[in-house]
Structure 1
Amino acid sequence: MATTTRERLISLLSDSGDYKSGQKLSEKLGCSRTAVWKHIEELRKEGYVVEAVQKKGYRITTRPNNLLPGEIKHQLDTEKLGQEIHYEESVSSTQEIAHQHALNDAPEGTIIIADEQISGRGRLGRSWHSPKGSGVWMSVILRPNIPPQKAPQLTLLAAVSVVQGIEQVTGVDAVIKWPNDILIDGKKAVGILTELQAEADRVNSVIIGIGINVNTAAFPDEISNIATSLKIASGNEIERANLVRSILEKMEKLYNLYLEHGFSPIKLLWEGSAASLGKRVRVRTITGELFGKAQGITEEGVLLVEDDLGTLHRVYSADIELT
């Protein structure tokens, strides 16, 4: 997707913090000075503080904490991930929209991101609390040349990316609970949902949904004892676009590593951030419960749990609880 005039203006006004004259902006953007002024007024309505000084020009002094494409793309260092962004103020689910874009041949790395999800969902059809203006609700479209059975590996890759991004931006220690939850201080801060568009022997697209409680200050009573946010954990308001940039940059590096060297290096990184390895867990599947010690994951991303009799179980899909 081509960079819009608005996105280019944000980049120009943010570059090095220097003032940019209306004439220079007009020349760079290929539009009239009147059009430049109108774009600046629109930016102000979106929450940007644009300082105007006579004979010097304009510059952005304060940026809003939003998820608009121009904010995410500002200083984004990726080749594919996030180069095409579809932003919506409110959606039922970013996953649903991503599926449509993927079917319509959206390029790899396209992201769908929203300020609010009305019907956010997680694994097993569960709902996901996605209030307006407080979190990151996004879906990433990937098109790896892998067989469908390897797609779960990308859930684990995404989890490592999110942990790395959170730690870089906030300094908060986050850990992964197999297969798709990220915990901070024992409470859930992130959920990841991976879905496929595939044929019998090949993947057409992998759609990774990521929901992050960023600046949520409080949760509904029914989840307040199990959910947390980056703001609660760090004590600070987090710039959401900066967090998204960091996660996309980490994910692209790990994805390229995965495509070149397979799952082994991702597996090591995942195990280094795992909450449950070496600990006693309760495993709940559709067929029953299992208690034992989490020993690691296989090259396919399957969880290995050793029960009290020493039998090693391969867990493909389950809810895991530390005991």
Structure 2
Amino acid sequence: MDKGADGSMRGKLIQVLTEAGNEFTSGQYLSEQLGISRTAVWKHIEELRKSGYELEAVPRKGYRLLFTPDTVSAEEISSRLTTSIMGAQVHYEKSVPSTQEVAHKLARDGAAEGTVIVADEQTKGKGRLGREWFSPPGTGLWFSLLLRPDIPPQQAPQLTLLTAVAVIEGIEEATGVKAEIKWPNDLLVQGRKIAGILTEMQSEPDRVQAVIVGVGINVNQEKSSLPEDLQSIATSLAIEKGTPFHRADVLTSVLKRYEYWYQHFLHEGFDRVRRRWEALAISFGQKITARTVQGAEYGTAKGITDDGVLILEKEDGEIKYIYSADIEFNNDTN
């Protein structure tokens, strides 16, 4: 796991070399910019090479970055971040059962707000209602974000809706792909799932200790690499645009939008977040079936409450509040 100083230092090194473009950067200049010895610079360069970066070194000229791999390592993410809170600490794992599990442990150990846990692979990725999220190595973004908002527990579900807004805006900013929200936490492109959200909480009766937001985004999967049962209902950014993307670019774009909306939420409240969420949602005004543990409810989706609860108007005019359900759109619009 990358934790802190080394990953952050290599992130700064990548940033300086990237900004230099095709020009060489001297070891002395890197030493001054990073505040470390030239020997330490060389050691970091060697670590980057082991991670798949191609760097040219020429005596009396310095170093030049030739190739950046599609990695979600701490240094690669840190090199792109412009946020002040989100991603302040980046923990990278090559493979974990679930980033949510790692995040919960870090939260209990006192990790700071904005800590991001990202993995190249999840072997037991967690979806909503205990389902498993298909998250193979090297293709998608599987990450968890640690939040410590000073809010009562009943407001925590609002953060799921905020997350959907931030992820959609971040994806579009990085790739041009426009997604829509299917209540409560699925993001779709042309009716096929491209991302999912899972929000979990550590709390006391009157206050939230931590909110762990898990996000899975299909980035570079090809259709043939998806399990057969997912090929008709799932998609990826690469499938939609016909080109692969650097996953770190997508993640840092999402974190930037997340920081914007989270700060607004903390200082101005939920109303604008809710209105933006409703503008991006596809459920409202449509006749749906909401399948809950108690049974199926039929009616028209009218909106959401401030707590993110779905408002369903039945044919007889009765209003039902749906807290958790799977949503299906009814073809019959009569």
Normalised TM-score (structure 1) = 0.96
Q: 1:190 aligns with which of 181, 186, 195?
A: 195
Partner in structure 2 of residue 272 of structure 1: 279
Q: Which runs of 5+ in 2 are unaligned?
A: none
SS in 1 for 2:301: strand
Do the aligned residues in 1 keep the contact of 2:8 with 2:78 (CA within 8 Å)? no
Partner in structure 2 of residue 241 of structure 1: 248
> 1:54 Cα deviation (Å)?
4.3
SS in 2 for 1:70: helix
**Aligned counterparts of 2:235 and 2:241: Cα–Cα separation in 1:** 11
Q: 1:64 aligns with which of 69, 72, 76?
A: 69
Do the aligned residues in 1 keep the contact of 2:95 with 2:119 (CA within 8 Å)? yes
Partner in structure 2 of residue 95 of structure 1: 100
Partner in structure 1 of residue 294 of structure 2: 287
Task: Tell me which amino acid in the other structure corresponds to 1:10.
Answer: I
Alignment of 1:1-323 (within 5 A): 1-2=4-5, 4-17=8-21, 18-217=23-222, 218-323=225-330
> 1:183 Cα deviation (Å)?
0.5
**Aligned counterparts of 2:301 and 2:137: Cα–Cα separation in 1:** 37
Task: Tell me which amino acid in the other structure corresponds to 1:178.
Answer: W
Task: Tell me which amino acid in the other structure corresponds to 2:14.
Answer: I
Task: Tell me which amino acid in the other structure corresponds to 1:71.
Answer: E
Task: Tell me which amino acid in the other structure corresponds to 1:305.
Answer: L
Change (3 A) 1:251 1:30: closer
- Number of aligned residue pairs: 323
Normalised TM-score (structure 2) = 0.93
SS in 2 for 1:60: strand
> 1:31 Cα deviation (Å)?
4.4
> 1:75 Cα deviation (Å)?
3.2
**Aligned counterparts of 1:188 and 1:212: Cα–Cα separation in 2:** 9
> 1:322 Cα deviation (Å)?
1.7
Aligned-pair identity (%): 52
> 1:121 Cα deviation (Å)?
1.0
> 1:33 Cα deviation (Å)?
3.5
> 1:11 Cα deviation (Å)?
2.1
Task: Tell me which amino acid in the other structure corresponds to 1:102.
Answer: A
**Aligned counterparts of 1:259 and 1:49: Cα–Cα separation in 2:** 42
Change (3 A) 1:260 1:286: same
Tell me which moved more, 73-82 or 128-137.
73-82
Change (3 A) 1:44 1:80: same
**Aligned counterparts of 2:103 and 2:148: Cα–Cα separation in 1:** 13
What's the CA shift string for 1:30-82, capped at 9, x where partnerless? 54434433322321221212133443221213211100111111231111110
SS in 1 for 2:312: strand
**Aligned counterparts of 2:40 and 2:268: Cα–Cα separation in 1:** 49
**Aligned counterparts of 2:35 and 2:174: Cα–Cα separation in 1:** 35
Task: Tell me which amino acid in the other structure corresponds to 2:234.
Answer: A
Q: Which runs of 5+ in 1 are unaligned?
A: none
**Aligned counterparts of 2:44 and 2:204: Cα–Cα separation in 1:** 45
**Aligned counterparts of 1:131 and 1:160: Cα–Cα separation in 2:** 25
SS in 2 for 1:109: coil
SS in 1 for 2:124: coil
Tell me which moved more, 44-53 or 178-187.
44-53
**Aligned counterparts of 1:300 and 1:32: Cα–Cα separation in 2:** 53
**Aligned counterparts of 1:49 and 1:275: Cα–Cα separation in 2:** 44
Task: Tell me which amino acid in the other structure corresponds to 1:7.
Answer: G
SS in 2 for 1:25: helix
SS in 2 for 1:115: strand
Tell me which moved more, 228-237 or 25-34.
25-34
